[in-house]
């Protein structure tokens, strides 16, 4: 990593903790100018271009919010309008691309959640990030055939966070997720209530926006192109909440963006086009210990990032672009509208994170090639190891290549302890509680993990979905 980038991150962090209002000061000067000067560096989704080379942008969609009690999620083929003027055959939950945003309360018990399989292949829903008991986790053994149903009772007892739901059938997850089966699942709690007057003054209502970021490729008729070769599928354009070339009109206020990397394989390197900082407040497991200013975020498939952006200092008509620096993509354009500045950023400490320590067992998992963990291709019927309940362990994830390997564990959250090799450090967005951590080529990552929610059958796997489908998964049992 370039030395200058580390310097900038440390600098930005310093000003972020010094005062919240300074945290995105970088937004202000650069955005009052003409942001279009940067376009020569950008690769626009070709299908998002209008005539004459101008970029036609589309208003960001926001999936409807629903409560989980009694909710039926039916996966079935249908058509969605993604590319303007064309219709795309997609596989959707309840006809929505992406699926509806489920909002639940920690401490809530939600019976009668039903998955209906309207596909022509097996499927099951996994609630990524929810610490639910094994029969409700959506393990690949729980798949139901076409026409089948699966009933869940979701007992939600965990910190507030952005989680998500998606299919988890063995060997078919990649295609099902890619064709549209995914949605956000937000958990609220007594601190992060999602209501005005919450403890840290976090933005609510229209100022809190889930962003499901993923890539896709389309043919000339507007239908998805896909192949599930085990090196992974990389689409040639970004979608946010199913919107191609999206923009969002923003007030001169503070916004909370709940970001998910929903790509099959692509690691995103998210940044703002003017070098302004994200005010990072949370990740997979909810709020962090404090506010961090970061100039970029490396986002692997399955990971979530909770960031605030302050548009108060910008003038009406100014734009800010969320970009992927690696693909050189414009991901989402924020357009500041004429409005009265309001809101404030939190600063300093946020949540109390009890650090795991003194692991009693060390386990080592090598992610070999594109199909194996510890030399073994997934055996759906096997239990590869047993983990004692309520006991802290150190799990070490190693790879010799073929990354990215975003390692995801069901049934518990973990704390990232160290990374050796490769990038050689841990990052602000890896603090607190995680359920997915990026292991890049040449990296070894230590995490501390403790299963405190439930005993039973769970699974760990690579969230590069082609690797997952090819067998880079392992069952284990919490006993």
In the complex, the residues that contact Cu ion under the rule CB under 5 A are 405, 462, 464, 467
Q: Which is nearer to Cu ion, 449 or 465 (CB)?
A: 465
Contact 155, 132 (CB under 8 A): yes
Work out how close the CB of 401 gets to Cu ion at its nearest, in angstroms, rounded to a whole number: 10
Work out how close the CB of 213 gets to Cu ion at its nearest, in angstroms, rounded to a whole number: 19
Q: Cα separation of 242 and 261, whole Å?
A: 13
106: which residues sit within 8 A by CB, 6+ positions away? 156, 157, 158, 159, 160, 187, 188, 189, 190
Give the H/E segment covering residue 92. strand 88-93
User: 158 burial class (0-12, 13-18, 19+ CB within 10 angstroms)?
Assistant: buried
Q: Which is nearer to Cu ion, 72 or 231 (CB)?
A: 231
Residue 359: how many other CB atoms lie within 10 Å: 18
Q: Which is nearer to Cu ion, 73 or 416 (CB)?
A: 416
Work out how close the CB of 284 gets to Cu ion at its nearest, in angstroms, rounded to a whole number: 18
Q: Cα separation of 409 and 128, whole Å?
A: 9
Work out how close the CB of 166 gets to Cu ion at its nearest, in angstroms, rounded to a whole number: 17
Please count the residues of the chain: 479
Q: Which is nearer to Cu ion, 462 or 474 (CB)?
A: 462
Contact 166, 181 (CB under 8 A): yes
Q: Tell me how many degrees the CA angle 101-476-474 measures, rounded to the nearest 5.
A: 75
Q: Which is nearer to Cu ion, 159 or 168 (CB)?
A: 168
Q: Which is nearer to Cu ion, 454 or 461 (CB)?
A: 461
Work out how close the CB of 470 gets to Cu ion at its nearest, in angstroms, rounded to a whole number: 9
Work out how close the CB of 431 gets to Cu ion at its nearest, in angstroms, rounded to a whole number: 23
76: which residues sit within 8 A by CB, 6+ positions away? 91, 92, 95, 116, 118, 119
Q: Which is nearer to Cu ion, 295 or 464 (CB)?
A: 464
Q: Which is nearer to Cu ion, 9 or 166 (CB)?
A: 166
| Position of minimal CB gap to Cu ion | 462
User: 149 burial class (0-12, 13-18, 19+ CB within 10 angstroms)?
Assistant: exposed
36: which residues sit within 8 A by CB, 6+ positions away? none
Work out how close the CB of 174 gets to Cu ion at its nearest, in angstroms, rounded to a whole number: 12
Q: Which is nearer to Cu ion, 266 or 467 (CB)?
A: 467
Q: Cα separation of 222 and 82, whole Å?
A: 8
424: which residues sit within 8 A by CB, 6+ positions away? none
Work out how close the CB of 375 gets to Cu ion at its nearest, in angstroms, rounded to a whole number: 14
Work out how close the CB of 467 gets to Cu ion at its nearest, in angstroms, rounded to a whole number: 3
């Amino acid at each position: 990593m370039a030395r200058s980038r580390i310097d900038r991150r440390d600098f930005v962090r310093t000003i972020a903790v010094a005062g919240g209002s300074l945290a995105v000061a970088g937004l202000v000067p650069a955005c009052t100018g003409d942001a279009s000067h940067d376009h020569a560096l950008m690769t626009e989704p070709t299908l998002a271009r209008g005539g004459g080379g101008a970029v036609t942008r589309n208003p960001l969609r926001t999936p409807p919010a629903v409560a989980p009690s009694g909710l039926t999620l039916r996966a079935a083929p249908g058509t969605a309008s993604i590319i303007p003027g064309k219709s795309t055959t997609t596989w959707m939950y309840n006809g929505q691309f992406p699926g509806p945003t489920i909002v639940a309360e920690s401490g809530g018990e939600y019976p009668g959640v039903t998955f209906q399989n309207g596909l022509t292949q097996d499927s099951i829903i996994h609630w990524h990030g929810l610490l639910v008991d094994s029969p409700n986790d959506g393990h690949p053994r729980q798949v139901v055939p076409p026409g089948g149903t699966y009933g869940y009772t979701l007992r939600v007892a965990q910190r507030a966070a952005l989680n998500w739901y998606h299919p988890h059938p063995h060997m078919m997850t990649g295609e099902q997720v890619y064709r549209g089966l995914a949605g956000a699942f937000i958990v609220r709690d007594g601190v992060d209530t999602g209501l005005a007057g919450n403890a840290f003054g976090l933005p609510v209502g229209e100022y809190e926006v889930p962003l499901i970021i993923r890539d896709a490729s389309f043919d000339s008729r507007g239908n998805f192109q896909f192949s599930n070769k085990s090196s992974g599928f990389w689409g040639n354009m970004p979608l946010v909440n199913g919107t191609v070339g999206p923009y969002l009109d923003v007030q001169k206020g503070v916004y909370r963006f709940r970001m998910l990397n929903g790509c099959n394989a692509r690691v995103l390197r998210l940044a703002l086009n003017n070098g302004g900082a994200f005010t990072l407040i949370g990740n997979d497991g909810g709020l962090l210990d404090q506010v961090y200013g970061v100039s970029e975020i490396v986002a692997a498939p399955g990971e979530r990032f909770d960031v605030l952006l302050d548009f108060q200092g910008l003038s009406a008509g100014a734009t800010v672009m969320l970009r992927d620096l690696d693909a050189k993509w414009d991901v989402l354009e924020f357009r500041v509208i004429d409005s009265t500045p309001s809101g404030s950023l939190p600063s300093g400490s946020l949540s109390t994170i009890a650090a795991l320590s003194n692991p009693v067992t060390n386990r080592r998992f090598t992610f070999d090639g594109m199909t194996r963990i510890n030399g073994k291709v997934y055996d759906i019927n096997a239990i590869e190891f047993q983990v004692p309940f309520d006991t802290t362990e150190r799990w070490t994830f190693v790879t010799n290549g073929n990354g990215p390997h975003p390692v995801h564990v069901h049934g518990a959250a973990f704390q990232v302890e160290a990374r050796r090799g490769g990038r050689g450090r841990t990052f602000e967005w890896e603090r607190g509680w995680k359920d997915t951590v990026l292991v890049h080529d040449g990296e070894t990552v230590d995490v501390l993990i403790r299963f405190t929610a439930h005993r039973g059958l769970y699974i760990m796997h690579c969230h590069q979905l082609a690797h997952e489908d090819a067998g880079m998964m392992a069952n284990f049992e919490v006993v």
